[in-house]
A and B are shown apart, each in its own frame.
Chain A
Amino acid sequence: MNQQTLPWKLLEHPADIRIEVHGKNVEQIFLNSASAMTSIITGTDEHLEKLSVKIFFLQSDSLQDLLVDWLRELLFLFTVERFVFCDAFLKIDETTAIEARVRGYFMEFPDQFRDGVEIKGITYHGLLLEKTCDGFVAQVIFDV
């Protein structure tokens, strides 16, 4: 992972994995957070051709919670269906709903990602999503 060119970085955390994500708008924050999580669980940023599409709709009580719910959904798809996120077309409605058309592919064999880290859950601890002078920033801690 070459962090120089990525819109996200790892922050220090003794036991878990904490990321900071930047984006020009909320959609980018959601996409970049998903890319960051995928990079962590697969251990790579190089992915296969995007052959499959998943469509889903989520609604939450706040934008922060929506970010958690979005990542929870992608983590579930990865762990159960072995579906790897590559990119997505998102429609985020004001603050609390997302309509997602996600493109990705299915893992070819169970131990395909030997550099990956198993994420157990997306936590609410230290969760941050706020506007900055040039866009948005988010911080998320994954339990690993």
Chain B
Amino acid sequence: MPGERKFKLRRLDETRWEIPMVGGMRVPGLIFSDSSLLPDIEKDNSCEQVYNVAHMPGIVSNSIALPDIHWGYGFPIGGVAAFDLDQGVVSPGGVGYDINCGVRLATTGLAREDVIPRIKDLVDSLYSAIPSGLGSTGKIRLNRKALSEVVLSGAGWAIKQGMGDGSDLEHIEDHGRVTGAESKSISDRAFERGKDQLGTLGSGNHFVEIGFIDEIFESEVAESWGLFPGQVTLMIHSGSRGFGYQVCDEFLARMIKNMAKEKIELPDRQLACTRINSPQGKEYLSAMAGAANFAFANRQILMNLAKEVWERSMGLSPRELRLHLLYDVSHNIAKIEDHIVNGKQVKLCVHRKGATRALPPFHPLLPQRYLKSGQPVLIPGDMGRCSFILVGAEGAMSQTFGSACHGAGRVLSRNEALKRTKGRFIEQELQDHNIYARSAGRKTMREEFPEAYKDVSSVVEVVHKAGLARKVACIKPMGVIKG
């Protein structure tokens, strides 16, 4: 529970609350929520973290929180903050340990009825083939030179090795490669920690999910993206694994030591940062880009692995399965982007920590396929209820630096989740709702049980009403693999 607050929340309208500027805040806080979600947000320290981020040098407009906000470390999870390139800072804690943790969604040519009778075999086959859980290692072992290629090329590296189709790149944020990566910015320890983790899912809330489209909200957009009711989908949630964790860890420790020299004073040391245009700032952005590319490659490899297993398990040809990548989005990242501030176009360093980019129609960074519609925004929920596909809307550019939420957001601690599920068999409960789930970790199912998360439908409703992104389709799970 938070202690005595130095600020008061002020309701602006149905979906927005403000933390007016007090003390050392350089900008106000802006929280997207509604009266049903706000009590959960107020239970922990996440509003304090929005307030803390507002103190950072060079922050522009607002310290923003999206409706899946919850207490993180330094930045809240579900936080967005943009910084001026001259005066502003870059913060590894504002990106997170799991750099470019993200989600990709692929559609298939299959209908729900085609997969239901085979779902157990399919999930079991995927579970056996995809390395998941603590300490898992992949089949791809690369030396530093080869791993440097991954770091420079991102998803394109995997495609070059035959793991995917060249057209996939158009359906990945930044075409699966953040520019500016240099392997010299990345330590030997990061290479060591990542050397056997390409093509691994990870643990905790990372997952592979087979689902189906349960409801379509905007048929025109859905049709243009090739979505249809009952269509079977594949969703993958993973990131840069130990490689990214190590990059964050090392730069954070280095920046903490430098804060006094740079005369930056902040309410929380985890917000440790450095000027964007300093040598250390540039070095971090370069290393972060490398870790982001590792993550893009990782999700590309995982999708290809799932595709091969799926075809084998159900005896389908690639033409019959028709697995096509809809989009791949980053959740934890800092990017140099153009935005309009006070009527002027400026370059900013936008930190998204547990947030998804949500570009509206005709944004110059959109691939041709999504130019007219806007970007697919993928919002996974918990493993028992549903997930959403949204489309980026203009309101995101004017309010959140082109961002929307990234998920449902936890509402129970892992410990509390274990207490509440004592004696329960979550796999069976899910199976009673026609969801077949497996996990590598023995406690994962209970820690990740659906009620540990906010209802993603409520979270997405706020995003929709606030005009950040619009609902296109709802996906229900059929089979889940958790780390």
Contacts and interface: CB of A to CB of B under 8 A. Distances in A.
B443 interface: yes
A143 B73 contact: yes
A41 interface: yes
Nearest to A107: B135
A112 B441 CA distance: 10
Interface string B238-261: 000010011011001100110000
Contacts of A76: 189, 193, 246
A115 B135 CA distance: 12
Contact of B245 (A111, A120, A126): A120
Nearest to A69: B253
Nearest to A142: B73
A134 interface: no
Given A41-B134, A127-B269, A65 B256 contact: yes
Interface in A55-85: 61, 65, 68-69, 72, 76, 79-80, 82
Interface string A1-41: 00000000010111111000000000000000000000001
B44 interface: yes
A68 to B, nearest CB: 8
Contacts of A122: 249
Nearest to A81: B192
A123 interface: yes
A129 B16 CA distance: 38
A14 B443 contact: no
A96 B284 CA distance: 26
A112 B133 CA distance: 10
B414 interface: yes
B277 interface: no
A91 B31 CA distance: 47
A118 interface: yes
A43 B443 contact: yes
Interface in B252-288: 252-253, 256-257, 268-270, 272
Contact of A14 (B134, B253, B411): B411
B413 A13 contact: yes
Nearest to B246: A76
Contacts of B443: 43, 115, 117
Given A12-B413, A110-B137, A113-B134, A118 B203 contact: yes
A116 interface: yes
A82 B242 CA distance: 13
A110 B257 contact: no
A17 B93 CA distance: 16
B283 to A, nearest CB: 19
B416 A117 contact: no
Residue from A68, A79, A82 with most neighbouring chain B CB atoms (10 Å): A79
Nearest to B443: A115
Q: Bin chain B's interface residue count.
A: 35 or more
A68 B257 CA distance: 13
A10 B333 CA distance: 29
Contacts of A127: 269
B72 A114 contact: no
B442 interface: yes
Interface in B25-69: 44
Contacts of A89: none
A66 to B, nearest CB: 11
B415 interface: yes
A117 B440 CA distance: 11
Interface in A87-122: 107, 110-118, 120-122
A80 B270 CA distance: 24
B44 to A, nearest CB: 5
B71 interface: yes
Contacts of A118: 134, 202-204, 483
Contact of A17 (B135, B410, B414): B414
B203 A117 contact: yes
B98 interface: yes
Interface of A: 10, 12-17, 41, 43, 61, 65, 68-69, 72, 76, 79-80, 82, 107, 110-118, 120-127, 141, 143-144
10 contacts: A12-B413, A12-B416, A15-B413, A16-B72, A72-B249, A80-B193, A107-B135, A115-B442, A117-B204, A121-B245
Given A80-B193, A123-B270, 6 more contacts: A13-B413, A14-B44, A113-B135, A123-B93, A124-B270, A141-B73
8 closest A-B pairs by CB: A125-B73, A125-B270, A120-B97, A123-B73, A121-B97, A118-B203, A124-B269, A120-B245
